[in-house]
Each structure stands twice: as structure tokens, then as C-alpha cells.
Amino acid sequence: MSSTQRLQPVKDASHLYEVERRARHAERPGFRISELQLSPTQKVPWHYHTNISDTFYVLEGQMRLFLQNPKEEVQLGPGESFVATAKRPHLVTNAGTTSLTFLIMQGIGVYDYVPLV
């Protein structure tokens, strides 16, 4: 299968990839804030969201984001943020040797997670 093929959207992606820690700080219709902690070997696999953007805000560690359409690589450290817009495929990795902890603000709209295979 090519990297642009997609699976069916899911409403909860927590079973699709492992993280050290996952916490939900706020959730309202059309908007939510979560905190994720990734070990140096963990990642959030290639995916996109149909209606919402992901705003990443790094609390600790180093994040490397890979994006498509257009192809881009972004490195973020503590206090830095980046927005992956709706329908833009992205992959989140830990670029450091210690845990990466970040907030992810998702909205405004109906959440889905469309995995790419």
C-alpha cells in the first residue's frame, strides 16, 4: 500500500499507538486539550483530521513533526508551538533522548483521526 492510502476515520485513536502518558485536560463540543508524553522511541503515526487543526505546544523535550502537502519538517522545543491544519497529514516524533511532553489543542469542529498506512 502507498503512504497516501488511508484507513477509516476513528473517533478515539488512543488504541492505535502507545504513549508513556495521556491525559485530557479539557473537552467541550468541538474542542479539546490533551497532554501526551512520548518516550524517545515512541511516535504518533501518520494521520490527519478531516475538520480540525492540531496545535502542538511543547512543555518538555524536543519534538520533530513531519508534514505532507506540502512536505515539511518542524522541530520544536519547550515553549514553542505549531499548527497542523485540517486535512494536512502529519507524524509526531520525539527528537530527543528524554521524554517529550506536549499539549495538543484540537478544534474547532468534530474530532476524527484518519490513519495513513
CATH, residue 45: 2.60.120.10
Asked, for residue 27, whether it belongs to a domain, the answer is: yes
**Residue 69: which region, alpha, beta or left (left: phi > 0; alpha: psi -120 to 50)?**
left
H helical segments located in the chain = none
pLDDT of 74: 98
**Edge-first strand listing for the sheet containing 43-48:** 72-76, 63-67, 90-94, 43-48, 114-115
Write the pLDDT tens digit of every residue in 51-79: 999 999 999 999 999 999 999 999 999 99
Residue 42 lies in a domain: yes
User: At 110, which amino acid appears?
Assistant: V
**Any domain includes 38:** yes
Q: How far apart are CA 37 and CA 42, in angstroms?
A: 9
Residue 12 domain flag: no
- Classify residue 2: in a domain, yes or no: no
pLDDT for 54 equals 97
In a domain, 13, yes or no: no
Structural domain span for residue 59: 21-115
Helices then strands, counting H and E runs in the chain, come out as 0, 10
Domain-located, residue 11: no
Please count the structural domains in the chain: 1
Q: pTM of the full predicted structure? A: 0.88
